[in-house]
Amino acid sequence: MAYKLDQDFYQRPCLAVAKALVGKLLVRRLPSGELLKLRISETEAYCGEEDTACHAHKGRTKRTEVMYQVGGTIYVYLCYGMHWLLNIVTGEAETPEAVLIRACLEQNGPGKLTKTLSVTGELNRGSICGEELWIEDDGYSCHVVTDKRVGIGYASREDQNRLWRFKLQ
């Protein structure tokens, strides 16, 4: 009995949302009308200006503006000129928090994931509760393990060591 997560789900601290999203179904309706469902197997939390790994830690800019929206907003970002990364904004408005969807089952890597789902910058600032992209809970539950975040060598040692990555075990 799958049901679509509503906006309230995302209006919680990013760590809680990041952990809760692991094991959920990411659903994408392609422009062609085709429906794709993938189970989320890995997420990472990026939490506020205090977090030196977070894009918004230096303050609000044109790019990070999206992270200051209310939870439930989609933040899509182009990395290394070729990969779109999918994030979901969490928490209250004015707090720059987001969860990076890092991988789904059968899809390791955030860049491959967005390629498979045809996620591009067009979805940036959209709603994760809309008709193009949303998340469902089908009652599946599993063991979630934590780990250090990766690919954030520019962050402080302290922040690199935070166990803010959540994986399906």
Partner DNA sequence: TTAGTGATATCC
Partner DNA sequence: GATATCACTAAA
Closer CB to DNA, 75 or 134, in the complex: 75
> Least distance in Å: CB of 133 to DNA?
16
Closer CB to DNA, 20 or 53, in the complex: 53
Q: Are 161 and 44 in contact (CB under 8 A)?
A: no
> Least distance in Å: CB of 86 to DNA?
8
Q: Are 75 and 97 in contact (CB under 8 A)?
A: no
Write out the E strands in 105-149.
Answer: 107-108, 133-137, 144-147
Measured between alpha carbons, how far is residue 113 from residues 11, 77, 141 in Å? 24, 13, 22
Please give the backbone phi and psi of residue 6, each rounded to the nearest 5 degrees, phi first. -95, 175
Residue 93 touching DNA (CB under 7 A): no
Radius of gyration of the chain (CA): 15
Out of 69, 104, 110, 166, name the contact with DNA by CB under 7 A: 110
Closer CB to DNA, 13 or 109, in the complex: 109
Residue 63 touching DNA (CB under 7 A): yes
Out of 79, 105, 142, 145, name the contact with DNA by CB under 7 A: 79
> Least distance in Å: CB of 1 to DNA?
31
Distance, in Å, from the CA atom of 166 to the CA atom of 144, rounded to the nearest integer, reads 6
Out of 58, 122, 130, 140, name the contact with DNA by CB under 7 A: 58
